[in-house]
């Protein structure tokens, strides 16, 4: 990685960290996907990632969720059973990511497909789910 790209990456991380206190207050120190508490939380940007960081695209997630999101191949499917509750939350980014994950999981897991059948999204959230490309390079 070049010094220029390292600098841009660090600048983005600094911008995201600016949201930290607001995000921690919003999530009450719980993972915004699985609601785990008493664990270290990290800022996660929900795709598609805007050019400039936006707090509405950010979630506070635990390490277990972060690891599961990093690789579809090594995903612990049962960890995501919590999404059937997350999809009803008030945080749009959490709802969108929950639905996108359930769509991915629904291909092979009946419980995820059943949860999706009950899901409701407004038009903007549905467009965001459609644009949220998980596990694609």
Residue range 32-69, pLDDT digits in tens: 999 999 999 999 999 998 899 999 999 999 999 999 99
Q: Among 69-73, 81-85, 103-107, which stretch is predicted with the lowest mean pLDDT?
A: 69-73
Q: Which of 4-8, 55-59, 68-72 has the lowest mean pLDDT?
A: 4-8
Cis peptide before 48 (omega within 30 of 0): yes
Task: Tell me what the pLDDT averaged over the chain comes to.
Answer: 90
Q: What stretch of H or E contains 59?
A: strand 58-62
- Grade residue 17 by pLDDT with cuts at 50, 70 and 90: confident
% of residues, the chain, pLDDT over 90: 73
User: Do the beta carbons of residue 94 and residue 59 sit within 8 Å?
Assistant: yes
pLDDT at 117: 94
How many whole angstroms separate alpha carbon 44 and alpha carbon 100? 15
Give the pLDDT of residue 135. 63
Indicate the pTM of the whole model: 0.88
Q: Reply yes or no on whether the pLDDT at 136 is more than 70.
A: no
């Amino acid at each position: 990685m070049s010094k220029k790209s390292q600098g841009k990456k660090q600048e983005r991380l600094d911008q995201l960290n600016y949201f930290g206190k607001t995000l921690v207050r919003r999530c009450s120190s719980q993972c915004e996907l699985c609601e785990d508490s008493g664990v270290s939380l990290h800022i996660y940007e929900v795709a598609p990632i805007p050019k400039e960081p936006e707090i509405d695209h950010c979630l506070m997630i635990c390490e277990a969720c972060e690891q599961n999101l990093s690789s579809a191949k090594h995903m612990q499917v049962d960890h995501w059973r919590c999404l059937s509750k997350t999809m009803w939350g008030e945080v749009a980014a959490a709802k969108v990511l929950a639905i996108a994950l359930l769509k991915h999981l629904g291909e092979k897991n009946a419980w995820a497909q059943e949860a999706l059948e009950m899901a409701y999204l407004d038009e903007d959230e549905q467009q965001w789910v459609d644009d949220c490309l998980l596990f694609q390079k």
